[in-house]
Amino acid sequence: MSVYKTVNPATGETVREFPEATDEQIGQAVTAAHEAFAAWRREPVENRSKVLSRVAELYRERAGELADLIALEMGKPVAQGRGEVALVADIYDYYAAEGPGFMADEQLNPKGGGTAVVRTEPIGALLGIMPWNYPYYQVARFAGPNLMLGNTVVLKHANNCPQSALAMEAIFREAGLPEGAYVNVFATNDQAADIIADPRIQGVSLTGSERAGSAVAETAGRHLKKVVLELGGSDPFIVLDTENLDGVVKAAVAGRMGNSGQACNSPKRFIVMEELYEEFVAKMAEKLARIQPGDPRDPGTRFGPLSSQAAADGLVEQIRDAVDKGAQLHTGGGLLDGPGAYVAPTLLTGITPEMRAFSEELFGPVAMVYKAADEDEAVELANNSPYGLGGAVWSTDEERALAVADRLDTGMVWINGVAGTQEDLPFGGVKRSGVGRELGRYGMDEFVNKKLIRRPAGR
**Per this entry, what is the length of the chain?**
459
Instruction: Give the whole-angstrom CA distance, residue 427 versus residue 56.
Output: 20
DSSP symbols for 267-308:
EEEEEEEHHHHHHHHHHHHHHHHT-----TTSTT------S-
Burial call 397-418: b when 16+ CB within 10 Å, e when fewer: eeeebeebbeebbbbbbbeeeb
Instruction: Catalytic residue, from 264, 361, 438, 446: name it.
Output: 264
Instruction: Using CB atoms within 10 Å of the CB of residue 248, give its burial: 0 to 12 exposed, 13 to 18 middle, 19+ buried.
Output: buried
Q: Which of 73, 84, 98, 230 is catalytic?
A: 230
- Give the chain's end-to-end CA distance (angstroms, integer): 66
Of the candidates 366, 329, 379, the one whose C-alpha atom is nearest the C-alpha of residue 349 is: 329
Our answer to whether residue 161 is catalytic in this structure is no
Q: HEC profile for 316-360?
A: HHHHHHHHHCCCEEEECCCECCCCCCCECCEEEECCCCCCHHHHC
199/225 Cα distance (integer angstroms)? 9
CA 223 to chain centre: 25
Cβ within 8 Å of residue 83, ≥6 positions away: none
Helix axes 63-74, 78-102, angle to 10 degrees: 120
Closest CA to 394 of 287, 273, 285, 279: 273
The set of catalytic residues is 230, 264
